[in-house]
Amino acid sequence: MPKSKILHTILVSTIILSCANEPYYEDASNIDNQLLALIDENSNGIGVDYFTLPSSNDYLSIPQDPLNPLNNAKVELGKMLVHETATGGNPKMNSVINTYSCASCHPVASGFFSGNRQGIGEGGTGFGSQGETRTVNLDMPLDSVDILPIKVPSLLNTAYQKVMLWNGALGGTDINAPFTTLYPDDIPENALGYQGLEVQGMNGQTAHRLKIDEEFVTTYGYKDLFDAAFPDFNENDRYSKLTGGLAIAAFNRTLLANEAPWQDWLKGNYNAMSTQEKRGAILFLDRALCVNCHTGPSLNSNNFYALGLNDMDASGAIVVNQEQLAVMKKGRGGFTNNSEDDYKFKVPSLYNLKDNPIYGHGGSYSSLNGIISYIVSGNKENDIVPNSQLAEEFINLNLTTQEINDITAFVEHALYDNNLERYVPTSVFSGNCIPNGDTQSQIDLGCN
């Protein structure tokens, strides 16, 4: 066990404590000082700001696409569009028209995760209390249902990702710049020069059979909101997949878990976390190596690693399209066609994970303690992943059960914003049920 590292940490915090003039650490107890010292160490000396999420209306501080600057009008429009089932205007089965939305697979009740093993858009029925009972509508041929063989990520904190999806396929800038003309048929928007969230906002409408155009805008009364959000667009281009996508992306950028206890703690409220959660945070930032990959305000990074986790076919999926799965299994390599990227997945944000107990890109764990124990074991579960691809941190860290429980407590409770309802409109202009309009969902959601 690397005792020297612990000793070093204690020494560092004692030295800091003894600098009596340092107001920053003044009234924090010893464990808080340890944590503050580790935060400095892991942020090039920037300190708590490095890990702090901005307010959702602090538009100057939220990371954004220079081609889609944030403003209130766009955010308000995007908030409606993400929850509006009248966007569901391009179904494969006409009888379910206008009964699904982005939020069918990303409902707030589940932390903007799906709430079930595989999110279902068109062809889904029911909701339960947080998406957990949503299942396929058997009137629809299985191969036509909108469902993917990979875990639905949350919309929370996506402002901190330059490219989107587990393989980072969506986005025309940054690390995707060399690949912007790959897949011109499937992802034409990558060639437009927008970042990942903007590309997803447009491409997601095609992928999930939504229709945002002039007819939608006039039928459901969204014209004024589009006019306010996009005054610079010529009227002929103002009501479209493009502007709809930009508004959706603007809204998604404001979805920040900034009321989580860890965030309160960072702002100086040292009572916001329990002692156990603080011990977990210390391990997270130090011996457990989590911070090597999960860092910054959203505890993610724009890198891809293989942790050898199972894919969805090995973990009780409902519906699997083998062709899609074959590409998805390869992770980043399935997009770049570069074998060095094979089986590597993006580093996800770690907030509000307890809302949807399905973990890993293939959903192979149903408890946080389970997946964290797996990650620190260094013992891969998926034999198709060659050892040479595995992340160098994926080794047995020899943590005790107590230490793993402490890390779990930190992730489960300190990274949990319990007030996400603030991000959802109380109603949408169609008057439809939010987020689903199928008969069973209406009953479950109390809409009828």
Which of 119/296 has CB closer to ligand HEC? 119
CB of 258 vs ligand HEC, minimal distance in Å? 17
Which of 19/156 has CB closer to ligand HEC? 156
Residue 5 to residues 10, 287, 302, Cα–Cα distance (Å): 9, 8, 27
Is residue 297 a contact partner of residue 157, using CB atoms and an 8 Å limit? yes
Tokens of 114: 């799906």
Is residue 429 a contact partner of residue 222, using CB atoms and an 8 Å limit? yes
Distance of CA 388 to the CA centre of its chain: 28
Query: 114-123: b or e for each residue (b if 16 or more CB lie within 10 Å)?
Result: bbbbbbbbbb
Query: Residue type for 153, please?
Result: P
Is residue 220 a contact partner of residue 429, using CB atoms and an 8 Å limit? yes
CB of 59 vs ligand HEC, minimal distance in Å? 19
Query: Residue type for 89, please?
Result: G
Query: Residue type for 226, please?
Result: F
CB of 15 vs ligand HEC, minimal distance in Å? 27
CB of 13 vs ligand HEC, minimal distance in Å? 21
Which of 76/393 has CB closer to ligand HEC? 393
CB of 81 vs ligand HEC, minimal distance in Å? 8
Which of 10/395 has CB closer to ligand HEC? 395
The binding site for ligand HEC (CB under 6 A) comprises 82, 102, 104-106, 119-121, 146-148, 150-153, 155, 158, 161, 164-166, 197, 200-201, 204-205, 208, 210, 248, 252, 288-290, 292-294, 305, 307, 309, 328, 345, 347-348, 350, 353, 359-361, 368, 371-372, 375-376, 391, 393, 407, 411
**Cis bond before residue 297 (omega within 30° of 0):** no
Which of 73/291 has CB closer to ligand HEC? 291
Is residue 212 a contact partner of residue 240, using CB atoms and an 8 Å limit? yes
CB of 101 vs ligand HEC, minimal distance in Å? 7
Which of 27/161 has CB closer to ligand HEC? 161
Spatial separation of the C-alpha atoms in residues 394 and 396, rounded to whole Å:
7
Tokens of 90: 């391009």
